[in-house]
Structure 1
């Protein structure tokens, strides 16, 4: 993964679960307060994960632009092989960008779920 994040940390950020309360519990007030604390913690983790992936997206976009410019320069100078290597790297960065986009979509979905759950309290 880019920006020094491991695949495990990405999976952990994308798999944050929304805590559920048990309405049949003997102490509903205690469950509600611990649930809201859990939701606040989950919301904070989701925001941090979102920020990481926004930064990754910006880095990837910059790399894509750089590779495209390098490919143009190599093409002008007649170095077709180097230009092709740049385009291959660009394609790789685009595939990484697609993966980051799908993770961001999952993060946004979880963020909305948490916000809805917190709003229903």
Structure 2
């Protein structure tokens, strides 16, 4: 099924989580399978995949991809999406420059994996 990208979908990919659940449901209905292995990790794709499989009433196992390591910048722990948007606003306001922005980008996503913020995981 399609992915939800925090970076490219505005204002938030959360608006598309239910569409991803419907896509999962339809895809699982379209194949003659007895069960599914769901691979995901993001705080939006995880519930979407599980909701789709539950709606079809198909046995499923979810295997999370695993979050990236938390980022750091100048002794501050960074959350992948939340802090980047905050500092992007600071850059646009002239409070930080290109050099600081480059440091933030290098410290933010420092390993493979999905977003480590898990901001909407409770939904």
TM-score (norm 2): 0.27
Bigger helix share: 1
TM-score (norm 1): 0.28
* More RCO (CA 8 Å, sep 6+): 1
Query: Over alpha carbons, which structure has the higher Rg?
Result: 1
